[in-house]
Amino acid sequence: MEKTKKIRVLVLYDSIHGNTEQVAKTIHKVVVTANLDSALVKITESAKLNFDDYDLIFCGSPVIEWLPTAILMSFIKAKLKEHRAKRDVLPCAPLKTGKFAVCFGTYCGAHIGVKEATPMTESFFWHIGYSVIDKLHLPGQMRRPDIDKAIEQENNIEGIFGNIIGRPNQNDLQAVETYTVGILRHIGAIS
Ligand SMILES: Cc1cc2nc3c(=O)[nH]c(=O)nc-3n(C[C@H](O)[C@H](O)[C@H](O)COP(=O)(O)O)c2cc1C
């Protein structure tokens, strides 16, 4: 992989049980291997980030009751406020040159498949003029100590994606690597 243009990449994510973290770390590894600047940030309530510092933002979360995690959502809502205050959220949301986002996530999808994962954080990035070039949603084994073991098992074995125990697995992560290289090529960050 040869770089053609130095871009700054942010891999921002949340993860409760580690599935989404594996995907985030895989994306980060590919970007670093491509000799590009990449910041890997697991969201916290006190995270300090300026999205304007990044040209390509991967933003990921597990799906928790149809949405990104509460911490990620409140961070994104605070960012929306901040961008509004500096008149960066404009009618018709004009796209900015060279600013891209990819939303990713893991989810069990047992009941309604990919529809479970679609809202995520895409709208926010469009609002601040980032072109959301893709969304990547992978099945991830559900771990829910708060529900009946049998129901957890049913969701992990009999859902729309079949048996998702152990996912994301090595094949999934290999696919994430190939996918990320494609994203970097697509925006001209590597040749
Ligand atoms: C409290 C909780 C709620 C969840 N809600 C959903 C849901 O609404 N839809 C879905 O498809 N998966 C749901 N899941 C499954 C997770 O999205 C999935 O297992 C994901 O891969 C977990 O990622 P993580 O290990 O990064 O936290 C839920 C999991 C937990 C723990």
118, 149 contact by CB (below 8 A): no
Q: Mutation test of ligand 1: which of 65, 115, 116, 142 has the most ligand atoms closer than 8 Å to its C-beta?
A: 142
In 3D space, the residue among 112, 106, 110, 122 whose CA is nearest the CA of residue 22 turns out to be 106
Q: Which pLDDT tens digit goes with each residue over 22-38?
A: 999 999 999 999 999 99
Does any ligand 1 atom lie closer than 6 A to the CB of residue 140? Answer: yes
Nearest CA to ligand 1 atom 19: 142
Residue 14 has pLDDT above 70, yes or no: yes
pLDDT: which is higher, 120 or 191 = 191
d(CA 11, CA 180): 12
Between 3-12, 67-76, 102-111, 152-161, the lowest mean confidence (pLDDT) is in 3-12
- pLDDT band (50, 70, 90) for residue 121: confident
Pairing of strands 100-107, 56-62: parallel
Of all residues in the chain, what percent carry a pLDDT higher than 90? Answer: 91
- Using the mean position of ligand 1's atoms as its centre, give its distance from the Cα of residue 166 in Å: 14
* 62 C-beta closer than 6 A to ligand 1: yes
- 16: Cβ below 6 Å to ligand 1? yes
69 in contact with ligand 1, CB cutoff 6 A:
no
pLDDT-based confidence at residue 5 (cuts at 50, 70, 90): low
> Contact at 8 Å (CB) between 156 and 108?
yes
User: Could you tell me what percent of the chain has a pLDDT over 70?
Assistant: 96
Confidence label for 46 from pLDDT (cuts 50, 70 and 90): confident
**Cβ(65) to ligand 1 under 6 A?**
yes
Residues 6+ positions from 114 with CB-CB distance below 8 Å: 137
**SS3 for the chain, per residue?**
CCECCCCEEEEEECCCCCHHHHHHHHHHHHHHHCCCEEEEEECCCCCCCCHHHCCEEEEEEECECCECCHHHHHHHHHHHHHHHHCCCCCCCCCCCCCCEEEEEEEECCCCCHHHHCCCCCHHHHHHCCCEEEEEEEEECCCCCCCCCHHHHHHHHHCECCECCCCCCCHHHHHHHHHHHHHHHHHCCCEC
CATH number among 3.30.470.10, 3.30.450.40, 3.40.50.360, 3.20.20.70, domain 8-186:
3.40.50.360
* Residue 2 pLDDT exceeds 80: no
pLDDT band for position 188 (cuts 50, 70, 90):
very high
pLDDT, tens digit, 9 for 90 and up, residues 63-110: 999 999 999 999 999 999 999 999 999 999 999 999 999 999 999 999
Residue 3 has pLDDT above 90, yes or no: no
Ligand 1 and 66: CB distance under 6 A: yes
What is d(CA 149, CA 160) in angstroms, rounded to the nearest whole number? 19
Pocket test for ligand 1, best of 11, 65, 116 (most atoms within 8 A of CB): 65
